A = this chain, B = another copy of it.
Amino acid sequence: MQEQLLHAEGNAVVNAAIIGASGYSGAELLRILSSHPGVRVQKVTAASSAGKRVDALYPAFAGQCDLEYDELVPAGLGGIDVAFVALPSGEAMKIIPLLKERVGRIIDLGGDFRLRSAELYELYYRRKHSAPDLLSGAVYGLPELNRDTIAAAKLVANPGCYPTSAILALLPALKHGIISPAGVVINSLSGVSGAGRSASVDMSFAEINENVRAYKIGTHQHIPEIESVLTEASGAAVTASFVPHLIPITRGIYTTAHAALTVALTAAELLTLYEEFYCSHPFVRITRQVPQILAVTRTNYCDIGIAIEGRTNHLIVMSVIDNLVKGAAGQAVQNMNLMFGLPEATGLK
């Protein structure tokens, strides 16, 4: 039986808009918010799909959602308490400065406001940042790291899917100083929904099925996000070698991280260290079995497994998330809950 999550009767409900709701992250947000007891989605918007009904694009919503897509930045946003922006990187930074004048709280699911440095942004995203003055005020929306600052934030930069899995995997070890911050190796496997809903030969079934491809080796835009967040959180200069791979699944990320242990620890001590680190966080589970993606599919959980490889004195950490939930829409809702004083897990369990 579900816990009674409703805030008291009579309380005002959070009125939400989803800007760019025609992609997979936007649709997942709509799915989650539709059964969230404290939110009402008042508007969904889209660029090329404006004017279409949501259930024309996503027949799963038939009979469940009567909305149609409004123009991308609609005229009427009065009464909207929070705007989720689920646009490709590069698009959000054009729109968010305008949105900020009309909506009190904004959660951006893209990459435009995750780095504090406009130079780093330009280096990895290969375009100039058009709203660099907003970077310092944006809060990185990883609740396991920034719960309190998120609660007060006006603009939350929701973490990337790979960084969510990589940072949660390494944070306890780095903050406790038990691994060397230099030369961390991170390999991640991702389902295709992370690439969005798009028409391309590369993402066609015949090219993905029975195949694996690494990509953007050493150049992926999530590298500076992982390094800078871990560096700032741990106080040590983290360098990470990161290789993402595309595998034939729709949802899920599997991250395996290797780092050199700098202290002697038993497996039991390590487990305790991780369990205590996350004991107050409802969406991180430390598993004694090896993690698997199916255990977190369509949930907001991040499952983490840890091993010590004695022969090499390496820490090996594996973490799994659903890239559309904890890696995107679910984490955005978790952030929204914190921002509006709702219990952190509302609508997510």
Which residues of A come within 8 Å of B, CB atoms?
Answer: 1-2, 4, 6, 13, 24, 33-41, 58-60, 62-64, 183, 185, 187, 189, 191-193, 197-201, 203-215, 217-218, 223, 239-241, 243, 245, 247-252, 254, 256, 258, 260, 282, 285, 287, 289-299, 301, 303, 305, 307-312, 314, 316, 318, 320, 349
- Give Cα distance in the complex from A214 to B349, angstroms: 26
Q: How far is the CB of A56 from chain B (nearest CB, A)?
A: 8
Q: How far is the CB of A40 from chain B (nearest CB, A)?
A: 5
Question: What are 27 residue pairs bridging A and B, where the CB atoms are less than 8 Å apart in the complex?
Answer: A1-B40, A2-B37, A4-B6, A59-B289, A59-B291, A62-B285, A62-B287, A185-B185, A185-B314, A192-B209, A199-B204, A204-B205, A205-B250, A210-B252, A210-B297, A212-B247, A213-B293, A214-B254, A214-B318, A218-B316, A223-B311, A240-B312, A241-B314, A241-B316, A243-B258, A243-B316, A258-B258
Chain B residues with CB under 8 A of A208: 205
Not counting A197-B201, A205-B250, a sample of 8 additional A-B residue pairs whose C-beta atoms are within 8 angstroms of each other reads A60-B297, A64-B349, A187-B187, A198-B201, A198-B204, A211-B294, A239-B311, A241-B258
Asked whether A218 lies within 8 Å of B1 as measured between CB atoms, the reply is no
- Give Cα distance in the complex from A2 to B2, angstroms: 13
Instruction: Output the nearest chain B residue to A41 by Cβ-Cβ distance.
Output: B1
Chain B residues with CB under 8 A of A247: 189, 212, 247-249
Instruction: Output the nearest chain B residue to A289 by Cβ-Cβ distance.
Output: B59
Instruction: Output the nearest chain B residue to A194 by Cβ-Cβ distance.
Output: B206
Chain B residues with CB under 8 A of A6: 4
Asked whether A298 lies within 8 Å of B295 as measured between CB atoms, the reply is no
Asked whether A210 lies within 8 Å of B211 as measured between CB atoms, the reply is no
- Give Cα distance in the complex from A250 to B207, angstroms: 9
Q: How far is the CB of A61 from chain B (nearest CB, A)?
A: 9
Chain B residues with CB under 8 A of A305: 214
Question: Given contacts A1-B40, A205-B204, A241-B316, are A292 and B256 in contact (CB under 8 A)?
Answer: no
Chain B residues with CB under 8 A of A63: 282, 285, 301
Q: How far is the CB of A198 from chain B (nearest CB, A)?
A: 7
Point out the residue from B1, B64, B210, B214 that lies within 8 Å of A256, measured CB to CB. B214
Chain B residues with CB under 8 A of A291: 59, 213-214
